[in-house]
Amino acid sequence: MKTRKLGNSGLDVSALGLGCMGMSYGYGPAHDKQEMIKLIHAAVEKGVTFFDTAEAYGPYTNEELLGEALAPFREQVVIATKFGFKFNSEGGQAGMDSRPEHIRAVAEAALSRLKTDVIDLFYQHRVDPNVPIEDVAGAVKDLIREGKVKHFGLSEAGAQTIRQAHAVQPVAALQSEYSLWWREPEQEIIPTLEELGIGFVPFSPLGKGFLTGAINENTKFDRTDFRNIVPRFTEENRKANQKLVDLLGEIAKQKEATPAQVALAWLLAQKPWIVPIPGTTKLHRLEENLGAVEVSLSAEDVNEIDSAFAAIPVQGARYPEHLQKRVGR
């Protein structure tokens, strides 16, 4: 497995990481724990060193899963987790909370769940409008000074927030959605990250599964699947957006690859400090995704893909309005 550095932080990780949320949360019922441990072990064996979780995934159960699965390999891997939400007694989200005392409490609890003495990368999950970002960065700076955290990250933050945070404690990485069908980060975020030497970790690099070609207008999602409330995933929009997947399939045939591999290779070709974290619960998908590292796209290939995709407008918003309000702050 090839490796990449996340910006100027010196954080060295596999060129593709593994997003673990879907193993416990978000895309239907939680999967069998022992099966997911086997999958995580397979990822380690195949050279993946970068694993992404959050206290919100479950909540808590996904961190516990990673803690158990990665304990035998702790020195070989980089674990990223997140803070920034509070939860009610039923485990549902009850708003945001990035107060310094809460950040510290979350870090202590995450260390226990992850069975480790240090968090490699600690992201603010979403920007909290009620807490100055300087206070957030200062709280993580204290945790870094104490040796409980190695690197500070932000998720779905806007350019101004990134700058303000970075001035207090260098931001190692920004995690935000970025893929062939969500390219907004190219406008302001990617230039900001490049200027400041911050790595970029795209989540949903396969469009929440849509770019793999495994979803169509007839697909039925589990009632607990997050995609049920995403405008882009209405039956009508899935039908309209199928043109994108068909196009990706044609390009993939030319490259003797799969649509997912081309979508990931396209991201890897954008910048050397971009590290996508596709999620999966299936071994064959893990193997397919990791094969993207061997798919080489020239600058000409990338331009052709860009031109072809630019001719097909994506239908539907990427988030319902109440969730969109939380991003880009």
Task: For residue 298, tell me if it sits in a domain.
Answer: yes
Amino acid at 53: T
Task: For residue 307, tell me if it sits in a domain.
Answer: yes
Q: How far is CA 310 from the centre of its chain?
A: 24
pLDDT at 90: 87
pLDDT at 325: 92
Low-confidence ranges of the chain (pLDDT < 70): none
Task: For residue 329, tell me if it sits in a domain.
Answer: no
Task: For residue 96, tell me if it sits in a domain.
Answer: yes
Task: For residue 254, tell me if it sits in a domain.
Answer: yes
pLDDT at 165: 98
> What CATH number should be reported for the domain holding residue 314?
3.20.20.100
CA-nearest of 67, 104, 15, 44 to 296 is 15
Domain that holds residue 145: 3-324
CA-nearest of 29, 15, 18, 58 to 199 is 15
Whole-model pTM? 0.98
Residue 201 parent element (H or E): strand 199-203
CA atoms within 13 A of residue 143's CA, in its CB half-sphere? 31
pLDDT per residue over 197-220, tens digit each? 999 999 999 999 999 999 999 999
Any idea what the Cα angle at residue 230 is, between residues 226 and 234, rounded to 5°? 115
Task: For residue 222, tell me if it sits in a domain.
Answer: yes
Task: For residue 277, tell me if it sits in a domain.
Answer: yes
Sequence-separated (6 or more) residues with CB below 8 Å from residue 73: 44
Task: Give the chain's domain count.
Answer: 1
Q: Beta partners for 279?
A: 19
57 has catalytic annotation: yes
Catalytic residue of the set 57, 60, 123, 178: 57
pLDDT at 235: 97
User: Using a CB cutoff of 8 Å and minimum separation of 24, what contacts does 146-149 make?
Assistant: 147/117, 147/118, 148/107, 148/108, 148/111, 148/117, 148/118, 148/119, 149/107, 149/118, 149/119, 149/122
